[in-house]
Amino acid sequence: MNVTPLRAAVSAGYDVERVRRDFPILTRTVHGKPLVYLDSAASSQRPLPVIRAVDDYESRSHANVHRGVHALSQEATAAFEGARERVRRFINARSTREIIFTRGTTEAINLVANSFGRARLGPGDEILITALEHHANIVPWQMVRDATGCALVVAPIDRSGELIMEEFHRRLTPRTRIVAVAHVSNALGTILPLAEIIAAAHARRVPVLVDGAQAVPHTPVDVQALGADFYAFSAHKLYGPTGIGVLYGREELLAAMPPWQGGGDMILNVTFERTTYNELPYKFEAGTPNMSGAVGLAAAIDYVESLGLGAIAAHEHSLLEAATAALSDIPGLTLIGTAKHKAAVVSFVLEGIHPHDLGTILDAEGVAVRTGHHCAQPVMDFFCIPATARASFACYNTLGEVQQLAAALRRAQEVFG
């Protein structure tokens, strides 16, 4: 195993067995085998503090927020707004006015595409994305392109799965109105050079939206240090509940943007003639929000910060190095995505065995991996493959599980002779 002494030392202080005890689901079996959960990039599991926080809110404090004068409504509002402040501190936003709760990363990007995009884009304008994007950072922009007549420009990647920066710079032009990029590729694990991307965009006064869904669980994010204008992420990849996510936006941009969805909570005054919209962040939160989800997200943030995101990242990196070494030893296995800077994701194909068959055989061994196009069909097309198998690692995975993955892959080769 190829682990640097420094990283090994950091990992050594990390008690993964203690972490695993926080996740009840990890004790279950699948098809009679202990569960080896390697699909956290699709959705991570929840630790007890998150499960209990949601349960506690539902059992004791639920009522609608921002409306009632009664005790429960005030408790629910305090819990919900407390969660917003927790998110603000987590990503170091200046103000809670910059923290908008959404259903997830997808809705956050749709919000920007619709509100910012439709107000600011027209024929002759360009949206710049990369060839690594998840469908959630492609399709909303295509819809805006079709509605406004602007163009969608794609910066290409190389065979290792890295963005070709030269090509990116070439596509950043006086016509570019917004840049929308992933922080970490979900299909390949590539970490994008955000500092360079954001500096180049800002030199042309172009705002940058960052899809942080795959980054937030694995690395500390400081939106001010990063300089991102918009940053989107989901709770359920951060050990929190589904159905809740965050859009961070710089206040002066959000203030100038029109509301996207209309309804309750996003208004100050309504008559049939006209409506006065609420202030930030409520202008962008129409309807009753997901309060228990926000409470769960806040608990998930407390949880990852109690472990330390730096310690989690170091642990995951040792798993990535072990997995890369173990899988490279398997004859006929090709890693897809070999960027220098990667999150703990290994995407691969095995000669003679379709990823879908691999997924079934691994499942029979209790090993859960994702197989398919990972909502990134253009990435698959680039590598001329229909699909990959993808193992993704989280704070609770072990070196033993890496070996179980490798053993299950050899078992697949036996089945297929």
Which residue, 142 or 261, is less far from other proteins as judged by CB? 142
Rounded Cα distance, 182 and 376, in Å: 12
Where in 31-70 is the site for other proteins (CB under 8 A)? 31
Q: How far is the CB of 333 from other proteins (least distance, A)?
A: 17
Encoding tokens for residue 124? Answer: 């002759």
Spatial CA neighbour of 232 closest among 248, 208, 254, 215: 248
Spatial CA neighbour of 1 closest among 393, 338, 322, 407: 322
Of the candidate residues 198, 228, 353, 405, the single one contacting other proteins (CB under 8 A):
353
Identify the residue whose tokens are 């690594």.
132
CA 28 from centroid of its chain's CA atoms: 26
C-beta of residue 294 within 8 angstroms of C-beta of residue 138: no
Q: How far is the CB of 3 from other proteins (least distance, A)?
A: 33
Q: Which residues contact 33 (CB under 8 A, 6 or more apart)?
A: 364, 365, 366
Q: How far is the CB of 387 from other proteins (least distance, A)?
A: 5
Residues with catalytic roles? 375
Q: Is 36 helix (H, G, I), strand (E, B) or coil?
A: strand
Q: Which stretch binds other proteins (CB under 8 A): 3-11, 202-210, 312-320, 366-374?
A: 366-374
Q: How far is the CB of 261 from other proteins (least distance, A)?
A: 24
Number of residues that bind other proteins (CB under 8 A): 19
First to last CA, the chain: 28
Which residue, 63 or 364, is less far from other proteins as judged by CB? 364
Of the candidate residues 324, 347, 371, 392, the single one contacting other proteins (CB under 8 A):
371
Helix (H) or strand (E) holding 310: helix 309-328
Encoding tokens for residue 293? Answer: 């989800």
C-beta of residue 137 within 8 angstroms of C-beta of residue 199: no
Q: Determine how many CB atoms are found less than 10 A away from the CB of residue 361.
A: 18
Where in 375-414 is the site for other proteins (CB under 8 A)? 377, 380, 386-387
Which residue, 225 or 415, is less far from other proteins as judged by CB? 415
Residue 134 found at the interface with other proteins (CB under 8 A): no
Helix (H) or strand (E) holding 230: strand 230-234
Which residue, 202 or 411, is less far from other proteins as judged by CB? 411
Give alpha helix (H) positions in 113-237.
118-120, 139-148, 165-171, 194-203, 223-226
Rounded Cα distance, 231 and 38, in Å: 26
Q: How far is the CB of 159 from other proteins (least distance, A)?
A: 20
Of the candidate residues 357, 368, 382, 398, the single one contacting other proteins (CB under 8 A):
357
Q: Which stretch binds other proteins (CB under 8 A): 146-154, 202-210, 259-267, 372-380?
A: 372-380
Q: Which stretch binds other proteins (CB under 8 A): 58-66, 150-158, 281-289, 348-356?
A: 348-356
Which residue, 66 or 411, is less far from other proteins as judged by CB? 411
Q: Which stretch binds other proteins (CB under 8 A): 170-178, 206-214, 298-306, 351-359?
A: 351-359
Helix (H) or strand (E) holding 333: strand 333-336
Which residue, 33 or 66, is less far from other proteins as judged by CB? 33
Rounded Cα distance, 122 and 148, in Å: 5
Q: How far is the CB of 134 from other proteins (least distance, A)?
A: 16
Of the candidate residues 255, 360, 400, 410, the single one contacting other proteins (CB under 8 A):
360
Q: How far is the CB of 34 from other proteins (least distance, A)?
A: 16
Residue 18 buriedness (CB in 10 A; 0-12 / 13-18 / 19+): exposed
Q: Which stretch binds other proteins (CB under 8 A): 2-10, 101-109, 153-161, 364-372?
A: 364-372
Of the candidate residues 121, 336, 361, 379, the single one contacting other proteins (CB under 8 A):
361
Q: Which stretch binds other proteins (CB under 8 A): 175-183, 260-268, 341-349, 367-375?
A: 367-375
Q: Determine how many CB atoms are found less than 10 A away from the CB of residue 158.
A: 12
Q: Is 318 helix (H, G, I), strand (E, B) or coil?
A: helix
Helix (H) or strand (E) holding 368: strand 367-368
Q: How far is the CB of 361 from other proteins (least distance, A)?
A: 6
Of the candidate residues 373, 392, 401, 402, the single one contacting other proteins (CB under 8 A):
373
| Residues of this chain that bind other proteins (CB under 8 A) | 31, 353-357, 360-361, 364, 371-373, 377, 380, 386-387, 415-417
